[in-house]
Structure 1
Amino acid sequence: MTGALDAAGITDPRLREAYSRCRRLNAQHGRTYYLATRLLTKAQRPAVHALYGFARFADDIVDTAPPGSDPAPRLEALSAELFAGLDRGRSDDPVLAAVVDTASRYGIRRDLFAAFLDSMRMDLTVTGYPDREALETYVHGSAEVIGLQMLPVLGTVGDPDEAAPYAAALGKAFQLTNFLRDIAEDLDRGRVYLPADELAAFGVDRDLLLWCRRHGRTDTRVRAALAAQHATTRRIYAYAREGIGRLHPVSRPCIATALVLYSEILDRIEAAGFAVFTHRARVGRGRRAQLAVSGLTRAMWARRGRRAAGLTAAATERWA
């Protein structure tokens, strides 16, 4: 981490510790995501760790609160400290210090953080979504904005606004993959992140999902419903893939690798016959290593090649 912090020009000891803490959160909780970040230049990695660390920290406030406790005050305190830090240009919080610094360095919009925290608040009270429109309101804040936050760090060729829809779509695809993989875990928390009306078209409701969870079986109706959700997520990956060429060349291997790793979770889910109530689909270490080596080779060639046209001089220097 020291080399990455040096490359990013982060010299303040307080900030270095904050960025290091975010990196540890990323390494501990986001193995697939963390592996992909290793394909970025050293100068880019601290910012990615900061954004992931903040998202993980907020999510943990909601999901790991002790039984009977109310996480809302902690979430509101986090929100207040974040926006106060954004206003001041600095924060003394051991995690937010890195986030505020990253937002300042890369000009990340304040409203993206606000939308994320709105979705975290939804998790405190909302346990299901009646239709796709309602779910997408949640997904925008919980996932699409993460892709948009990342975009200034990754860099683009041409107008960033043209790359934004693809970055948002990739965040959505990752989140929808998680929803399929983690159905059992989410049910245990009292939540269903699948559109109720789309499930109902196959004769599926929450009670049937709970029956599958209790018995460790995937009912045929549930299997058909999950296959439809699977197909929808596949289409979003296909769209997101089209945007990789709009990224700075040094960032493309990272995002391409992350896309393949996450989309292969869908492969594992399908191959297991949608047995998501007893088995958490994952990509094995061997396959992750294989993709990492391939991605690293491409990343090294991209760094040696010419800088892409259309980038600002400041951005080009940042990733040199």
Structure 2
Amino acid sequence: MSLDRPALVQFARTSIARGSKSFAMASKLFDAETRERAWLLYAWCRACDDIADGQDHGHGMTRLSDGPARIARIRHLTGEALAGRETGEPAFDALGLVAAECGIPARLPFDVIDGFALDGEGWSPRTADDLHRYCYHVAGAVGVMMAIVMGVAPDDDAVLDRACDLGLAFQLANIARDLSEDDAVGRCYLPAEWLAEMDIPPGEHMRPAHRAGLVTLARLLTDGAARYEASARIGAFALPFRSRWAVLAAAHIYGGIGRAVAKAGAAAWDHRVSTSKWAKLGAAMRAWGESLQPAPLSPSLRPDTLWTRPRL
């Protein structure tokens, strides 16, 4: 596929429709230009995730033996795209297009790739700081790029910190929801220090005997997600109305995942927590009302207790 913008936008639109119904719905709330750019960025994120984990649009994650080679391919194609060269891979050409249009700093896509590399190495966090740094790489940096797509200047640290917070909130909630699925492919994102505090041996957190401790640790994840979501909501008021609406809707939808996991307690991993179409519509309506309210605080008044992303 050539660097034909309409064709790349259509490819990206198909990708988000297949890969994430939640993000696809939230993206409809953007103005047309921002929506297309969000799709283009999503297509790259989705392709990288699929290549790194051997998936198809987020489904069918497997154990892989060629992880380093896959990450090397992602790095190469991303570098080519950011340099303005056609890659022959539409998802990477989509990144090149949106990065050029919005002035996305090259460091950010490579920060995301560093997160995929950690997974490929079989990495697990030792501390909460390790966990937050991982969440930055795989989701927070994406939040920063999305904010730039929405028109935030790359040097507006106060707003970009809040955008990163939304990515952290999403990832912490996802980790809590997917503990069982991740365990099935040998991954664990619960910090080793947390496991030790609950007397849970490494690799045994999904055993029935440790369910009570697991519920406690999952609550740490979902409580953390709620704190970062609250911070991100403040940053949303620095955005244009349509973008603010979309961000707040996404916060409701993904925040609902963490809240559902916390509410389910020990039964949270009996089946995968999901959000219904009607719940998504309700989230969009609530977000519309919230978007009309005055800004609650300045984005610069961010709590010092929250983890802070690396500066560009």
TM-score under structure 1 normalisation?
A: 0.81
**Partner of 1:318 in structure 2?**
none
Residues 43 and 189 (structure 1 numbering): CA distance in 2 closer, same or farther, change over 3 Å?
A: same
Measured at CA, do residues 178 and 68 of structure 1 come closer, stay the same or move farther in structure 2, by a change above 3 Å?
closer
**What residue number does 2:40 align with?**
50
CA contact (8 A) 2:212 2:266 kept: no
Identity, % of aligned positions: 24
Q: Which whole-Å CA distance do the structure 2 matches of 1:261 and 1:68 have between them? A: 31
Aligned residues: 286
Q: Against the structure 1 CA distance between its residues 295 and 278, is the aligned structure 2 distance closer, same or farther, given a 3 Å change threshold?
A: same
Of the structure 1 ranges 95-104 and 23-32, higher mean CA displacement relative to structure 2 is found in 23-32
Give the C-alpha shift of residue 230 in structure 1. Answer: 2.0
Comparing 191-200 with 181-190, greater Cα deviation is found at: 191-200
Residue 133 of structure 1 pairs with residue 129 of structure 2: yes
* Whole-Å separation in 1 of the counterparts to 2:221 and 2:63: 31
| Structure-2 residue corresponding to 1:171 | 167
1:231-258: CA deviation from partner (whole Å, max 9, x where unpaired): 2222111222221111122211000010
Asked if 1:92 is matched to 2:88, the reply is: yes
1:289 aligns with 2:285: no
Report the AA paired with residue 22 of structure 1: A
Residue 12 of structure 2 corresponds to 22
- Residue of structure 2 equivalent to 1:305: none
Change (3 A) 1:21 1:226: same
Deviation of residue 19 (structure 1)?
2.3
Question: In the TM superposition, what is the alpha-carbon distance from 1:79 to its structure 2 partner?
Answer: 1.5
Q: CA, structure 1 residues 256+157, in 2 after alignment: closer, same or farther (shift >3 Å)?
A: farther
Asked whether the equivalents of residues 83 and 96 of structure 2 are also in contact (C-alpha less than 8 Å), the reply is no
Counterpart of 1:287 in structure 2: which amino acid?
Answer: A
**Alignment TM-score, normalising by the size of structure 2:** 0.83
- CA RMSD in angstroms comes to 2.6
Distance 1:162 1:298 in 2: 21
Distance 1:158 1:137 in 2: 20
Residue number in structure 2 paired with 1:80: 76
The equivalences for 1:1-320 within 5 A come to 14-64=4-54, 69-88=65-84, 90-156=86-152, 160-212=156-208, 219-293=211-285, 295=287
- Structure 1 pair 294–286 and aligned structure 2 pair: CA distance change class (3 A): same
The ranges of structure 1 where at least 4 consecutive aligned residues each deviate by more than 4 angstroms after the TM superposition are 65-69, 156-159, 293-299
Q: Quick check: which has more Rg, 1 or 2?
A: 1
Counterparts of 1:121 and 1:82 in 2: how far apart (Å)? 14
What letter corresponds to residue 35 of structure 1 in structure 2? M
| More displaced 10-residue stretch of structure 1: 183-192 or 243-252 | 243-252
Q: After TM superposition, give the deviation of residue 296 of structure 1 in Å.
A: 6.2
Q: Distance in 1 between matches of 2:19 and 2:202?
A: 28
- CA offsets 1:170-189 (integer angstroms, 9 cap, x no match): 11110111100111110011
Report SS of the residue matched to 2:42: helix
Question: Aligned letter for 1:24?
Answer: T
**Superposed CA offset, 1:66-101 (max 9, x none):** 666414323312321221222235543221111101
Query: Per the alignment, in what secondary structure is the counterpart of residue 205 of structure 2?
Result: helix
Residue 311 (structure 1) aligns with = none
- What letter is aligned with 1:233? A
Shift of residue 207 of structure 1? Answer: 3.8
